[in-house]
A and B are shown apart, each in its own frame.
Chain A
């Protein structure tokens, strides 16, 4: 798998957009794979008792999908150094989350780039934030 080289990047480069189908399987699978068994992430009744429509995505899954969005672009030799996200509208089954991102900063000293990203569903931004990664 080829990796993006630091020298090839420019501030303003857009990452390939991703559309992520938010299903019960993704929400529950992500929650359990992250060892987060909080009932609102796998039990519809518990989610509805807390005022939500249905089970909703846990933060670790959101973090993981943000990481995947960036490393699908950057490749195997990129190293993720930092993930900083702000949470917005919940991800519930039936939504589609559209991930977009651009290169916000480049730092020659340590060959890192900061990608600014957003994951949006029909209610607005589920997640916005930045990921810092070192590139070869």
Chain B
């Protein structure tokens, strides 16, 4: 919902004093740029570029000496263990601002963007400090996570000579969660669940068909009175209005009547590019929406001869897909 009307105006008024101010906490590197911290970083991230740890190779490079990986920039000023155990700094205006949001229900926080620029590479013995300014607070926005506000901060990093060595902009969304987070899904082994395809909505008229697929059968519904085939499954024959029906197994032969290849947006659980086709089945008058598999999606074309296969596309979930006839 977010705040509306006068309430929202009053709330936004309380944010104004924060725009353009320094957040007020000390951001001073506790150590000089040093080999040990660089080595730990390179080992953890498996970065084998020799200019960070091999003095000889570094001397031969354009840097002329050992340098720190540029993306370590912020690591030099983070407070380490204090982030887990310390009391929040009462002078931290950024935390104070976040609490204003928390108090009116925008309790969620997520970092969405970061941008770093490096004026020069840091060298052993450099000493870094930084100043962070709250640059902007956006208007209220509706996002996928919920309604909220984007807060942009800019941090300027300087060295022991007060020369600017780099800068960082950071954007977070403070939002009203649209729902409570679900319990963390895990499989039996406790590992995080993997995304799967969207399952069909099963109901009285189609459940039998999907049960057939799970039993490796590609069935087609048939009118018991006039014998006309129909798909997708439905309760009444379009020809004779009979509601009596049975089913036959499809021959599985067909040709591509039309198709699209989906590149974007990507839905978790599917492989992209994803070929989605309407197949003219050999059975007269029937078309079937499906995926074309076992070929380059770019090779799918109208008129392509294809045949059906019941395939397990996710654990415990089978679908009818079509593949090219060799």
Q: Report whether B82 and A94 are in contact in the complex, using a CB–CB cutoff of 8 Å.
A: no
B33 within 8 A of A: no
A107 within 8 A of B: no
Contact with A along B260-294 (1 / 0, CB 8 A): 00000010100000000000000000000000000
A contact patch SS: mixed
Q: Report whether A124 and B266 are in contact in the complex, using a CB–CB cutoff of 8 Å.
A: yes
B46 within 8 A of A: yes
B295 within 8 A of A: no
The residue from B50, B51, B74, B112 contacting A87, defined by CB atoms under 8 A apart: B112
B16 within 8 A of A: no
Query: How far apart sit A124 and B81, CA to CA, in the bound complex (Å)?
Result: 32
Q: Report whether A83 and B116 are in contact in the complex, using a CB–CB cutoff of 8 Å.
A: yes
A81: chain B residues at CB < 8 Å are 117-118
Contact with B along A85-96 (1 / 0, CB 8 A): 111010011110
Q: Report whether A36 and B78 are in contact in the complex, using a CB–CB cutoff of 8 Å.
A: yes
B residues 145-194 near A (Cβ < 8 Å) are 180-182, 184-186, 191-194
Best-surrounded residue of B51, B114, B185, B193 (most CB of chain A within 10 A): B114
The residue from B43, B62, B70, B268 contacting A83, defined by CB atoms under 8 A apart: B70
Contact with B along A68-104 (1 / 0, CB 8 A): 1001100111011111111101001111000000000
Query: How far apart sit A43 and B102, CA to CA, in the bound complex (Å)?
Result: 23
Query: How far apart sit A53 and B43, CA to CA, in the bound complex (Å)?
Result: 26
B250 within 8 A of A: no
A4 within 8 A of B: no
The residue from A59, A64, A124 contacting B69, defined by CB atoms under 8 A apart: A64
A residues 29-78 near B (Cβ < 8 Å) are 29-30, 32-39, 42-43, 48, 50-54, 59-61, 63-68, 71-72, 75-77
Measured CB to CB, the closest approach of chain A to B126, in angstroms, equals: 16
B residues 19-77 near A (Cβ < 8 Å) are 37, 40-41, 43-51, 57-58, 61-63, 69-72, 74-76
**Nearest CB in chain B to that of A51: its residue:** B181
Query: How far apart sit A85 and B116, CA to CA, in the bound complex (Å)?
Result: 9
Measured CB to CB, the closest approach of chain B to A77, in angstroms, equals: 5
Query: How far apart sit A66 and B72, CA to CA, in the bound complex (Å)?
Result: 12
Q: Report whether B74 and A38 are in contact in the complex, using a CB–CB cutoff of 8 Å.
A: no
Q: Report whether A124 and B268 are in contact in the complex, using a CB–CB cutoff of 8 Å.
A: yes
A1 within 8 A of B: yes
A85: chain B residues at CB < 8 Å are 113-115
A26 within 8 A of B: yes
**Nearest CB in chain B to that of A81: its residue:** B118
**Nearest CB in chain A to that of B49: its residue:** A71
Q: Report whether A76 and B266 are in contact in the complex, using a CB–CB cutoff of 8 Å.
A: no
Query: How far apart sit A108 and B171, CA to CA, in the bound complex (Å)?
Result: 31
Q: Report whether B80 and A35 are in contact in the complex, using a CB–CB cutoff of 8 Å.
A: yes
A10 within 8 A of B: no
Measured CB to CB, the closest approach of chain B to A1, in angstroms, equals: 6
The residue from B71, B115, B266 contacting A66, defined by CB atoms under 8 A apart: B71
Task: Supply 14 A–B pairs (Cβ within 8 Å), ascending by A.
Answer: A34-B78, A35-B80, A36-B78, A51-B184, A64-B69, A65-B45, A66-B71, A67-B69, A76-B58, A83-B115, A86-B112, A93-B191, A93-B192, A123-B268
**Residues on B facing A (Cβ under 8 Å):** 37, 40-41, 43-51, 57-58, 61-63, 69-72, 74-76, 78-84, 110-118, 121, 180-182, 184-186, 191-195, 266, 268
| Given pairs A52-B184, A123-B268, 17 additional interface contacts (CB within 8 A) | A1-B57, A34-B74, A35-B75, A35-B76, A35-B79, A37-B80, A50-B181, A53-B186, A64-B71, A76-B49, A76-B58, A77-B62, A79-B118, A82-B117, A82-B118, A87-B110, A93-B191
